[in-house]
Structure 1
């Protein structure tokens, strides 16, 4: 499984630790250092069945600076903003090899990811 990972984020570290502790092979993608392309982000959003504003960290000061609350709900524009400013992407995002994806911020979602990893 691939985890879009921010080492300074406790939720990212928890996801990593839970997955590796369960014996799941994990690839950590430090998405701040290696931001997703527009195509990658679109693929992840499709797997999540979410819109880009659904995975945007609106509480970040940068979101306020960019005026995202007032940005029209145009998916293309939002994807461009997230690719340009990856720290606005909600974390951690976990991707499985079979095309499923989760925003694994809570215990229930992590349990779902672990169950999927076990098959």
Structure 2
């Protein structure tokens, strides 16, 4: 049986919408409250690879922690990639949400209903 995991912040309306859509689709999934159970470096690296994104692409730069660090002005290049990852690991609230991963290698930041629907075929296979 395939596994679907969704990284959520329980205070996030987009996370609520994503789990409701998964429920409506009858998908089987595991909720990960990533603020309570932050990803390891290896997990974050794996998710970034599956998303085909860099850490600056999933950083919430409007968060107070990001503003305090001045992340908006950080270079977005390979030399600074580790700095970005370190910040996301230190302050998981900076990680964009919700993120869905599937055992078949699928992954998406699902901030819109369209993004959720795009991953649902993978999610349905978890039933």
Q: TM-score, structure 1 length as denominator? A: 0.95
The size of the alignment, in residue pairs, is 119
Match of 2:29 in 1: 26
Q: Indicate the SS of the match to 1:19.
A: helix
1:65 aligns with 2:68: yes
- 1:100 pairs, out of 100, 106, 111, with 106
Moved more, 46-55 or 63-72: 63-72
Flag structure 1 segments of 5+ consecutive residues without an equivalent.
none
Query: What SS does the aligned partner of 1:12 have?
Result: helix
Runs of 4+, deviation exceeding 6 Å: none
RCO (CA 8 Å, sep 6+): is it higher in 1 or 2? 2
Shift of 1:87: 0.1
Residue 115 of structure 1 and its aligned partner are, at CA, apart by: 2.2
Q: Name the Cα RMSD after superposition.
A: 1.0
Mapped to 1, the partners of 2:122 and 2:32 lie a distance apart of 20
1:117: which partner in 2?
Answer: 123
State which drifts further: 61-70 or 29-38: 61-70
**Offset at 1:14?**
0.7
Q: Offset at 1:98?
A: 1.1
CA offset digits 1:32-86 (Å, max 9, x no partner): 0000011100000000000000000011121110110122321111011101100
Q: Which residue of 2 aligns with 1:78?
A: 84
Aligned to 1:44: 47
For 2:23 and 2:16, locate their aligned partners in 1 and report how far apart those are by CA, in whole Å. 10
